[in-house]
Every structure is written in C-alpha cells, then in structure tokens.
Structure 1
Amino acid sequence: MRKIGFGFLVVILIWVIWANFSFKSELPPVSAEISTVSQISCDTCENGDSLNLNRNIVGIQPYMLETDYLGESQFLAKMDAYFKAAHENGFLRVNTIVLLPEYLGTWLVIADEKESVANAGNLTWAMAQLVLNHPFEFFKFYRKSKHESDRITAGLFRMNAEQMAQIYQNTFSSLASTYKVYISAGSILLPGPSVENGKIAVELMEPIYNTSFIFDLQGKILNQEIKKAFPIDSEHPFVKASPVVQIPKFELPFANIGVLVCADSWYPESYQAIQGVEAVLVNSYCAIDGAMDVVWGGYNGAPPPSDVDLNDIGNITEKQAWEKYALPGRIGSSGAKIGANVFLRGELWELGTDGQPFFIKEGKLLEIEKAEKGGIWNMDY
C-alpha cells in the first residue's frame, strides 16, 4: 500500500509540474498572412463606380493560426495587422463598416494557456489540456452544464467565457476607436450574452449562443447582440438557437443594416426579420479544407425552406448552393441591394477552413480577387 500511495503522489507531483510549466513562455511573433488587398469594381452596375460614392464595406478574411489566440496582445496584434493594411490602402474612412467572420472570437477559449495547447495535433487534445490545466474549475462548470449534450465543450466555454468576452471587447473597441470605423466584429461563443452599461455581459449558467456584436467609431459597443438563430448540426450539442424574430436591425449614421450569423443567411425568415435594411452583412465559417468544391449535401441543422429545389442536393457544389440559397440568392427578399459575406480562414488544429467572400452591389454578385490566405476587400456604394 505504501508503494501504491507513493506512486500516486509521484503522479500528482508530475501532473502539478506539467500543468504549471511554460505558462509564461515567450509566444511566437504574429504573422499577418495577408495575400490579397483588393478594391472591388462593378462594371455591370447601372451607376458604375461613381467617384461620388461615400460609403463602403471592408470585408476582412483573417488567416488565423492557433497561436494568435494565446493572449490578448497576440489577438490584437493579428487583427491590427489587417486594419493597418486596410488603412494604408485608403479603405478606412468616415462612413466605413468593417466586416469580420464567424467564430473569429471563439478560439479565445485558449487565451493565456500554454503554447502546447495551440500546438496540439488536434482539437480534442487541445481541449483535453485545458481540462488538465484547470481540473477543479472545469468540473465545477461541467457539473452545471446539464442542458447541453456535449457537456465537456459547454463546460470549457463557460469556464473561460468572462475572459473571452473581455479580450473580444477590448480588441475591437481599441481597433474601432483607433481607426474611427464601425466594426461588425464576427462571432464568439458565449453563455447568456448581452450588452449592459456598454460592456459585454455573460451569464455563466445560461445557454451558450453563437453571438456577434457591433462597435462604433468611438469604440463603444452597440446595445444589441446578434445571436445565431439556426445553429448547424455540429453546434447543436452545445449551442442554443435564438428566436429568429430577435435578429436586430441597426440604424447607423450612414446606413440601416442587418447582420446574419452564417447559416441564418440560408433561411427566408432571417431576411423577414431585417426587412427594410439597406445592407446585409453575413459572417461565416466553413470547416474542412476544400469544402466549397464538394457536392452539396443539403441543409444542415434545420429542415430546408419550402423554396429549395431538393434536386439540387447531390447535383450542385457547396459554393453553388451558397450562391443560390444564402446571401447572394436571398438578399433581395430583405429589400437590400448591398451585401457582403466573409469567411474565417486559417490553420486551426485539424478543422480545416474554406470560402471566399461574396459581395453584392445593386443586387448583383460581384467578381472578386481570391485570397490564398488572408484577404482584405473594399466595396464602395
């Protein structure tokens, strides 16, 4: 028994040393990974690209690496590299809104963790290290995550939600005020998110939502969050659907806009909720490398709307389905003629990413210069 007890103590000692080792190690330098900076033209639009146009949408497709999420300074430096490039190219102006992609803030769940979490070969091992690094705190939230079928993922996001929200807010508030632009800041997974007294608030025991926020040119957060109404199958185990009627509209000084979180752009009800806006912005994340070129497998997460041609399933590509059934094909039902949709790209464990932006002007889908990695596109309107 003494040998067993001694062995157990040795294991505990090794675990304690491992769990606390290298938290303060120097992080690798941030690499911007920008491969395209492009001004979008509209040769087929009725009004052409008039010099009198004084509003613009800047779509940013950041190419994110796992190490970009290891701390607030890392995340801010990566985002600032894109905003600085957009500024240097004259894209950030008085009436600018910058659009960022879905899940951009989600991987802040690993903020202030060891670099080994970022360098894990797969997401399962990365998440396992989060548990091992903080076992007591994790199990407190695991036990309370009773409404989700994936209690491990839910517990991890609840455990780190307050820090995630703070880094997300600090980063985009700083960028908005520095560059004097509005920012549709992409999405982040948070439990019970709301805006209270100018801050993102979370309720740790409330359901987790895929949520986006908008920051004004003074760095203040607008007082209405945007929650995803149609989570996809991979999100259902830990993300709750928000009522589609709660998708808000925003009256900015230069435009009335609606913001949809990824799959919401595939459903007519979403466009009815934002009826009457001038512009529709969509943030997206499409997992799996090369996903846009595979055969479309149909709707994911909820039944298809009645206007969907079921014969398209298995007969068109994923990209063609996006063009037909998401923003490019549905924007007109909102009354808007201006739209943009950007995707998260990068090297995020084994998840893979795909997608290139969609820009719509006067109801027409525009040609864009594709980005191999990160990209910045400007559309005047």
Structure 2
Amino acid sequence: MKKIGFGFLVVILIWVIWANWSFRSELPPVISEISTVSQIICDTCENGDSMSLNRNIVGIQPYMLETDYLSESQFLAKLDTYFKVAQENGFFREKTMVLLPEYLGTWLVIADEKKSVANAGNLTWAMAQLVLNHPFRLSTYYGKSEKESDRIAATLFRMKAEKMANIYKQVFKQLSKEYQVYIAAGSILLPGPEVKNGMLEVDIEAPIYNTSFVFAPNGDLIPQSIRKAFPIDSEHPFVTASPTTDIPTFDLPFGKIGVLVCADSWYPESYQAIQGVEVVLVNSYCAIDGAMDNPWGGYKGAPPPIDVDLNDIGILNERQAWEKYALPGRIGISGAKIGANVFLRGKLWNLGTDGQPFFIREGKLLEIEEAEKGGIWSMEY
C-alpha cells in the first residue's frame, strides 16, 4: 500500500509540474501578416472620387495565429497592427464602422494557457491540454453542460467564459476609444451573454450562443447582443440557436444598421427581422483551406429556404453559392443597398480558413483586390 501511495504521489507531482510548465514562457512577437490594403473605388462618383462620400465601412480580415490568443496583450497587439495601418491610410473618419469576422473572439478560450496549447498540432490535442491543465475546475463546470451533446467543448467554454468576455470587452473598448470608430467586433462563444451597466456579463448556467457586439467610439458597449440564429452542423453540439426575431438593429448617427452572424445571412428570415436598415454587415468564418473553390455541399445546420435551387448543390462552387444565397443575393430583402461581409483567416491548428470579403454598394457586388493573408478594405457610401 505504501508503494501504491508513493506511486500516486509521484504521478500527482509529475502532473503538477507538467500542468504549470511554460505558463510564464515568453510569447513570440506579433506578426501582422497584412497583404492587402485597399480603398474600393466608387465607379458612380465623379472621377471615381469615393472620398466625396461621407461614410465608410472598413472591413478588416485579420490573419490570426494561435499564439495571438494566449494573452489579452497579445490579442490587443495583433488587432492594433491592423487598426494602425487603417488609420495611417486615412480610413478612419468621423463616420466609420469597422467590421471584424466571426469567431474572432472565440479562440480566447486559450487565453492565459500554456504556449503548448497554441503549438498543438490539432484542435483536439489543444483542447485536451486544457482539460489536463484544469481537471478540478473542469469538474465544476461539467455538471452545468448536461444539455449539450459535446459536453467537453461546452464545459471548456463555460470554464473560460468570464475571462474571454473580459478580454473581448477590454480590447474592443480600447480600440474603439483610441481610434474613435464604431466597431462591429466579430463573434465570440459565450453562455448567456448580456450587457449590464456597460459590462459584458455571462451566465454560466445559460446556453452558449455565438454572439457579436457593437462598440461605440467612446468605448461603450452597445447593449443589444447579436446571437446567431442558424448554427451550422459543427456548432450544434454546443451552440444554441437564437430566434431570428431577436436579431437587433442599431440606430447610429450615420444610419440604421443590421448585423448578421455568418450562416444567418443565408436565410430570408434574418433579413426580414432587420427590414428598414440602410446597411447590412455580416461576420463570417469559413473552415477548410481552399473551401471557396470546392463544390457547394448545400445548407448545413437547417433546412434550405424554399427559394433555393437544390440543383445548384455540387454544381456551384462555395463562393458562387455565397454570392447567390448569402448577402450579395439576399440583401434586398432587408431594403438595404449597402453591405459588407468579412471572413476570419489565419493558421488555427488544423481547422483551415478561407474567404474574401464581399462589399455591396447601391445593391451591386463590387470587385475588390483580394488578400493572400490579412487585409484591410475601405468602402465609402
């Protein structure tokens, strides 16, 4: 028995050393990876001078690396490189809205974790390390994740929710105040997120939503949350759908705006919920490298709307399907003629990323200069 007890203590000691090893190791320098900075020319303006228009949307496609999420300072520094370049190019003005992509805040789930989590070869091993790092904390939250079929993923997001929400709020508060712009800050997975007294709070007992928020130039977090109504198949095990009737609109000093989270832009009900807006913004994440050139596999996560031609499945490629059935093809349902859609890009374990922005002015899909990695585009309207 003494030998068994000694062996158990050795195992515990090894685990303690492993679990705490490299928490304080130095993080690598932030690399911006910006390959395109572009002002989208207005072909209907006099001499193509879009500067004569007094409002603009700045779409930022950050190229994120796993290490960008290991601390609040790292996350802020990475995004600040994009905001700084946008400012240097004269993109930030009195009436500017910055649009960021879906899932941008989600990978803050690894914030303050070991560097080995970021360096894991695949997401499964990265999440397994979170489990191994926090077995006792994990047990506290596991019992609160009974309704999700992927209890481990749901438990990890609940366990890190308060830290994730705080970093998300603090970083975008600082960026909006420093650069004096509105920010549609991309999305983050949080349980029961609500804005109370200017603070982003979570409810650990509540369902997990894929949620986005808007920040004002004074750093304030606008109270309405934008929760995804149509989670896709890969999200269903731990993300809860929100009713389309809860999709908010924002009456801002330069117009009425609606924001949709990725797949919501594929369904007419989403646009009907925000009818009367002048601008529709969409944040997106498309997994798998080169996905936009692959044959379209049809709707994933919910039945297709009745206006979808099922013969397009396997015939259109993914990008063509986005153009036909997402923002470019459906924006008119809302009454808006101005729109933008940006995608998350980067190297995120084995997930892959793809997509180039869509910009729509006067109901017309515009040609843009594509970005190999990160990109910044400004469209005046």
Partner of 1:29: 29
Partner of 2:293: 293
> Unmatched 5+ residue regions in structure 1?
none
Question: Conserved in 2, the CA contact under 8 Å of 1:59 and 1:340?
Answer: yes
Partner of 2:15: 15
1:306-359, CA deviations, whole angstroms, 9 ceiling, x for partnerless residues? 000010011110000000000000001100000000000000000000000000
> 1:22, 1:312 → 2: CA distance?
50
Q: For residue 108 of structure 2, what is the amino acid of its counterpart? A: L
- CA-CA distance at 1:92 after TM superposition: 0.6
- CA-CA distance at 1:46 after TM superposition: 9.9
- CA-CA distance at 1:84 after TM superposition: 0.2
Moved more, 5-14 or 86-95: 5-14
Partner of 2:275: 275
Question: Conserved in 1, the CA contact under 8 Å of 2:42 and 2:50?
Answer: no
- Give the secondary-structure state (helix, strand or coil) at the position aligned to 1:210: strand
> Unmatched 5+ residue regions in structure 2?
none
Partner of 1:91: 91
Q: For residue 345 of structure 2, what is the amino acid of its counterpart? A: R
- CA-CA distance at 1:45 after TM superposition: 7.4
Partner of 1:355: 355
> 1:279, 1:127 → 2: CA distance?
38
Relative to the length of structure 1, the TM-score reads 0.98
- CA-CA distance at 1:255 after TM superposition: 1.1
Question: Conserved in 1, the CA contact under 8 Å of 2:41 and 2:50?
Answer: no
Partner of 2:339: 339
- CA-CA distance at 1:48 after TM superposition: 5.3
Partner of 2:307: 307
Relative to the length of structure 2, the TM-score reads 0.98
Q: 1:9 to 1:181 in 2, by over 3 A?
A: same
1:113-170, CA deviations, whole angstroms, 9 ceiling, x for partnerless residues? 1100000011111111111111111111112201100000000000000000000000
- Give the secondary-structure state (helix, strand or coil) at the position aligned to 1:77: helix
> 2:49, 2:203 → 1: CA distance?
46
1:127 aligns with 2:142: no
Q: For residue 332 of structure 2, what is the amino acid of its counterpart? A: G
- Give the secondary-structure state (helix, strand or coil) at the position aligned to 1:292: helix
- CA-CA distance at 1:251 after TM superposition: 0.3
1:171-201, CA deviations, whole angstroms, 9 ceiling, x for partnerless residues? 0000000000000000000000111001111
- CA-CA distance at 1:25 after TM superposition: 1.1
Q: For residue 275 of structure 2, what is the amino acid of its counterpart? A: Q
Q: How does 1:182-331 map to 2 (within 5 A)?
A: 182-331=182-331
- CA-CA distance at 1:376 after TM superposition: 0.1
> 2:75, 2:344 → 1: CA distance?
14
Q: For residue 374 of structure 2, what is the amino acid of its counterpart? A: G
> 2:50, 2:134 → 1: CA distance?
57
1:90-119, CA deviations, whole angstroms, 9 ceiling, x for partnerless residues? 001100000000000000000001100000
> 2:47, 2:269 → 1: CA distance?
31
Question: Conserved in 2, the CA contact under 8 Å of 1:45 and 1:362?
Answer: no
Partner of 1:140: 140
1:161 aligns with 2:157: no
Q: For residue 176 of structure 2, what is the amino acid of its counterpart? A: A
- CA-CA distance at 1:49 after TM superposition: 4.3
> 2:272, 2:161 → 1: CA distance?
31
> 1:5, 1:28 → 2: CA distance?
41
- CA-CA distance at 1:2 after TM superposition: 3.0
1:236-279, CA deviations, whole angstroms, 9 ceiling, x for partnerless residues? 00000000010000000001100000000000000000001000
- CA-CA distance at 1:20 after TM superposition: 1.1
Question: Conserved in 2, the CA contact under 8 Å of 1:45 and 1:364?
Answer: no
Equivalent residue pairs, number: 381
Moved more, 156-165 or 7-16: 7-16
> 2:312, 2:80 → 1: CA distance?
41
Partner of 1:180: 180
Q: Pairwise CA RMSD of aligned residues?
A: 1.2
Question: Conserved in 2, the CA contact under 8 Å of 1:42 and 1:366?
Answer: no
Question: Conserved in 2, the CA contact under 8 Å of 1:66 and 1:348?
Answer: yes
Q: For residue 311 of structure 2, what is the amino acid of its counterpart? A: N
1:44-94, CA deviations, whole angstroms, 9 ceiling, x for partnerless residues? 679954543100000000000000000000000001000000000000110
> 2:82, 2:267 → 1: CA distance?
31
Q: 1:50 to 1:8 in 2, by over 3 A?
A: closer
Q: For residue 271 of structure 1, what is the amino acid of its counterpart? A: Y
Q: For residue 279 of structure 1, what is the amino acid of its counterpart? A: V
Moved more, 320-329 or 17-26: 17-26
> 2:231, 2:46 → 1: CA distance?
37
> 1:244, 1:152 → 2: CA distance?
28
Moved more, 269-278 or 7-16: 7-16
Moved more, 312-321 or 46-55: 46-55
- Give the secondary-structure state (helix, strand or coil) at the position aligned to 2:308: coil
- CA-CA distance at 1:230 after TM superposition: 0.3
